[in-house]
Amino acid sequence: MYEAVYDDTGVLVAARRFTDPELIARCQRLIEGLYHQGEPLDTFFDREVATLDPPTGTAKLPG
């Protein structure tokens, strides 16, 4: 299992490798639990995104 490490500007600078089977199993169970707590994207989108005004194109990108 790998952890991506980013600097303060969001650039990938390294990756940490984990090989402990119990740590990997715990992380997998955590992710599976979060997945099962979630909701389908289409219902979330309909409720939270579709009702928003269209973007205006005035947002500035960082950098």
CB 24: neighbour CB atoms within 10 A? 12
**Which of the four pLDDT bands, split at 50, 70 and 90, describes residue 63?**
low
Residue 28 tokens, joined:
């997998």
More confident site: 47 or 56: 47
Residue 4 contacts by C-beta under 8 Å, 6 or more apart in sequence? 12, 15
More confident site: 63 or 50: 50
Residue 20 tokens, joined:
């402990």
Q: What is the pLDDT of residues 26-55, one digit of tens each?
A: 999 999 999 999 999 999 999 999 999 988
Residue labelled with tokens 């005004």: 53
> Distance between CA atoms of 6 and 3, rounded to whole angstroms?
10
